[in-house]
Chains A and B, each alone.
Chain A
Amino acid sequence: MADRKDTVLYLDNISVSFDGFKAINHLSLYITRGELRAIIGPNGAGKTTMMDIITGKTKPDTGTLLFNGNIDLKKLDEVSIAELGIGRKFQKPTIFENQTVYDNILLSLDNPRGVIANLGYVTTKSTSDKIDELLEIIRLTKYKNLEGSNLSHGQKQWLEIGMLLAQDPDVLLVDEPAAGMTDAETADTAKLLINIAKTKSVIVVEHDMEFIRALNSKVTVLHEGAVLAEGSLDQVSKNQEVIDVYLGR
């Protein structure tokens, strides 16, 4: 077991069941500060559910769930958890379809979230510069004033990554970012995440093994709601249990 002090996210013996079905089964996972962690596992392994638990969408039935070693996330709701600095990209790209790319980023930027503050909000030069900078990173500068619904699946993925960056959280949970992207885009996404992980903690869920290889990070294999194996990609892909699971045995 890892030292609780160094861990940004400390999940210990977490279980959750939906109508008797154990989606997460005694899951323990420790993410240290500044770590980039890849999570893989077959469909239904509980990867998304794990993110739901960390972000407060799903409450665990049992187990310990700590942020920065001492903040009990089980007691907090989604908003408070987001305020603490845990941001998330959803598996199905979730952007604001009826608003422009620019507004999507504007709404995500790390500015005051209160009603009053936003009633009188005026976009400053530095804010719009920051938005432009982010749009450059996610390559949507051209589509700045386009409504989100007009973007392709891959572009929506980029936009949501941009929203996550704008939010500027300390921990980023990224669920299947490469889905719908071309090979080149996938490689760029991996580079981007590696870059982010220099200053933040990042957890990435992905099925694309090329992508995982590119991340070159510690890999956790999830299966039936629990950790099956942990280590480098080469290590886990030699693990017999992992091979069995992926071959469906």
Chain B
Amino acid sequence: MISDKFYKYLGISGSSFLCIMGGAILIIVASNTLLNSDHPLHVSSYVVTLLGKYLCYAILAISIDLVWGYCGVLSLGHGAFFALGGYAMGMHLMREIGPRGVYGNPVLPDFMVFLNWKELPWYWYGFDMFWFAILMAVVAPALLAYIFGWLAFRSRVTGVYLSIMTQALTFALLLAFYRNDMGFGGNNGLTDFKDVLGFNIQENRTRLVLFVISGLVLMITFMFSKILVDSKYGKALIAIRDSESRVRFLGYRVEHYKLFIWTLSAGLAGIAGALYVPQVGIINPSEFSPANSIEAVLWVAVGGRGTLIGPVLGAILVNGSKTILTSAFPEVWLFTLGAIFIFVTIFLPKGIMGLFNRSNRKSNASGISKIAGLRKIFIFDGKKDG
């Protein structure tokens, strides 16, 4: 039976989680399409798109958790990989506008005409093809991550130093993408998209389909990650997280292990970005801002790092609160975020998932262990080999 197989690989929590996800998506689709817009249980297309956005964030959160929660590499730059994936999709959507732009140029996007460019830069070639854009949404961030990781892991850069380098990476890209002559629309980024694969991007049905695709990709990501972390590779990864040098003395090439998950994680973040852009209708350099990456790490911390359900819960809950709070009291959001951060580090070092898994909960009793928790949540400094 296929359900037996599922159960075998995903375990009870994983399978139930997927069922709930799938069920929730179906209910939302049904409510959006079948119920009248004045029905109290009707989910509007606005909300559908909002939820679709959260699902993309959840994929990003899983990708961060794979490197942070399972391998102890705290990335404060995953927003960069997300944004690169977003730009790849945005470039395709720009090309798909074709002659319908303000300047009516069939090949050049409006901003290039405006800059008086005569032809398409070489790195825009191929983005008229959807499959190529999707490929690039994975390859571009993965390649960047590979190069970055190869340099960093080989020289054994770890802990805070690595985190700072990832911040620098996203900041450098932020500055680069602001420049008009980079050819990515500068400050304004890429926007005014018309359609995706021929379907009007504004239309409710397109939005609903994008929401469902995001949900499916999230579910596939979840399953795939679950199998990955349960494999012997995943076990070695956790061993590296907890005692890196011990793993070396067992004869494992730690840098290869890190590089693999790091590159994979960046590609995954790219996919999340590519799904995100058609739903929000814009991609601009602000997506590279260092604060975005830090916020994404917070989703994972809130939900519970080192679990796969945690990051999904965290991404949805934190962003849900953000949406509600920023519309009700726009000025308090940053304070709330700070408060959540402090609360989670002190009282929930294992995040929301830690509440369910009370078996190995011995700490957070004394003040000292709280401070230690504060340090531990960000850097797995439990490296205690000889």
Query: Once bound together, how far apart are the Cα atoms of A88 and B248, in whole Å?
Result: 11
Instruction: Determine whether A91 belongs to the interface, using a CB cutoff of 8 Å to chain B.
Output: yes
Within 8 A of B (CB), among A112-138: 113-115, 118-121, 123
Give the complex CA separation of A167 and B144 in angstroms: 36
Contacts of A79 in B (CB 8 A): 248, 251-254
Contacts A48-B386, A82-B251, A119-B233 hold; do A96 and B238 have CB atoms under 8 A apart? yes
B249 x A82 contact (CB < 8 A): yes
B260 close to chain A: CB less than 8 A: yes
Looking at chain B's contact residues, the main secondary structure is helix
A95→B239 CA distance, assembly (Å) = 9
Residue B385 at the chain A interface, CB threshold 8 Å = yes
Q: A96-B238, A98-B238 are in contact. Are A149 and B360 (CB under 8 A)?
A: yes
Q: Is B243's CB under 8 angstroms from A106's CB?
A: no
What total count of A-B pairs have CB within 8 Å? 89
Chain A 130-162 interface 0/1 with B at a Cβ cutoff of 8 Å (1 = within): 000000000000000001010000000000000
B188 within 8 A of A: no
Bound-complex Cα distance A120 to B242 (A): 23
List B contacts of A70 (CB < 8 A).
Answer: none
- Residues facing B in A197-243 (CB within 8 A) are none
Give CA–CA (A246, B202) in the complex, Å. 84
Answer whether residue B5 sits at the interface, using C-beta atoms and an 8 A cutoff. Answer: no
Give the chain A neighbours of B239 by CB distance below 8 A. Answer: 96, 99, 107
The interface residues of chain B lying within 8 Å CB-to-CB of A98 are 238, 242
A90 contacts B385, C-beta separation under 8 Å: yes
Q: Is B328 positioned at the interface, with any CB of A under 8 Å from its CB?
A: no
Tell whether B236 is near chain A: CB-to-CB under 8 Å. yes
Does A114 lie within 8 Å of B256, measured CB to CB?
A: yes
For the complex, give the distance between the alpha carbons of A149 and B253 in Å.
25
Query: Could you tell me the distance between the alpha carbons of A75 and B375 in the complex, rounded to whole angstroms?
Result: 36
**Binary CB contact string for chain B from 212 to 232 against chain A (1 if under 8 A, 0 otherwise):** 000000000000000010011
Q: A83 on the interface (CB 8 Å rule)?
A: yes
Closest residue of chain A to B260 (Cβ to Cβ) is A115
C-alpha spacing A98/B254, complex, angstroms? 18
Contact partner of B242 (CB less than 8 A), chosen from A96, A123, A175, is A96
B33 within 8 A of A: no
What's the nearest-Cβ distance from chain A to residue B229, in Å?
11
Q: Bound state CA distance, A119 and B233, in angstroms?
A: 5
Question: B100 to nearest A CB, angstroms?
Answer: 46
Asked if B153 CB lies within 8 Å of chain A CBs, one says no
In A42-92, the 8 Å CB interface with B consists of 48, 52, 55, 57, 77-79, 82-83, 87-88, 90-92
- Given contacts A55-B249, A94-B385, A113-B252, whether A106 and B232 have CB atoms under 8 Å apart is yes
Chain B residues 243 to 274 lying within 8 A of chain A, measured CB to CB, are 243, 245-254, 256-257, 260
Q: Which residues of B contact A13 (CB under 8 A)?
A: none
Known A94-B386, A97-B242, A115-B257: A106·B235 in contact at CB below 8 Å: yes
A103 CB-CB contact with B under 8 Å: yes
Q: Tell whether A108 is near chain B: CB-to-CB under 8 Å.
A: yes
Q: Which residues of chain B have C-beta atoms less than 8 A from A108's C-beta?
A: 250
| Interface residue B384 (Cβ < 8 Å from any Cβ of A) | yes
Q: How far is the CA of A96 from the CA of B251 in the complex (A)?
A: 15
Could you tell me if B360 and A92 are in contact, using CB atoms closer than 8 angstroms? no
CB neighbours (8 Å) of A167 from chain B are: 250-251
Closest approach, in angstroms, between the C-beta of B251 and any C-beta of chain A? 4
User: Which residues of B have CB within 8 Å of A99?
Assistant: 235, 238-239, 242
| Contact indicator B248/A82 (Cβ below 8 Å) | yes
Q: Collect the chain B residues with CB atoms within 8 Å of residue A163's CB.
A: 250
**Is the pair B386, A121 in contact by a Cβ cutoff of 8 Å?**
no
CB nearest neighbor in A for B259: A115
Given A107-B232, A107-B235, CB of A96 within 8 Å of CB of B249: no
A residues less than 8 Å from B238 (CB atoms)? 96, 98-99
Q: Considering only CB atoms, which chain B residue lies closest to A52 in the complex?
A: B386
Interface positions, chain A 155-184, Cβ under 8 Å from B, are: 163, 167, 175
* Given A48-B386, A91-B386, A149-B360, also A96-B243 (CB < 8 A): yes
Distance, CA A83 to CA B251, complexed state (A): 6
Chain A residues whose C-beta falls within 8 Å of the C-beta of B242 in the assembled complex? 96-99
Least CB separation from A103: chain B residue? B235
Cα(A78)–Cα(B66), bound, Å? 26
Q: Which chain A residue lies CB-closest to B253?
A: A79
Contact A92-B233, Cβ < 8 Å, known A167-B250, A167-B251: no
- Beyond A79-B253, A97-B242, whether A92 also contacts B386 by CB under 8 A is yes
In the complex where A83-B251, A99-B238, A106-B232 touch, is A90 in contact with B386 (Cβ < 8 A)? yes
Q: Are B256 and A115 in contact (CB under 8 A)?
A: yes
Report the bound CA distance from A108 to B245 in whole Å: 13
Alpha-carbon distance between A96 and B238 when the two chains are bound, in angstroms: 8
Do the beta carbons of A94 and B246 come within 8 Å of each other? yes
Query: A114–B254 Cα gap in the complex (Å)?
Result: 10
Q: Which residues of B contact A92 (CB under 8 A)?
A: 384-386
Beyond A78-B248, A91-B386, A118-B232: 14 further Cβ-contacts under 8 Å? A79-B251, A79-B252, A82-B248, A88-B249, A94-B243, A95-B243, A96-B238, A99-B238, A107-B250, A108-B250, A113-B252, A115-B260, A118-B233, A119-B228
> Can you identify 22 A-B contacts, CB atoms within 8 angstroms?
A57-B386, A77-B248, A78-B248, A79-B248, A79-B253, A88-B249, A94-B246, A94-B386, A95-B243, A95-B246, A97-B243, A97-B382, A107-B239, A108-B250, A113-B252, A115-B233, A115-B256, A118-B232, A118-B236, A163-B250, A167-B251, A175-B386
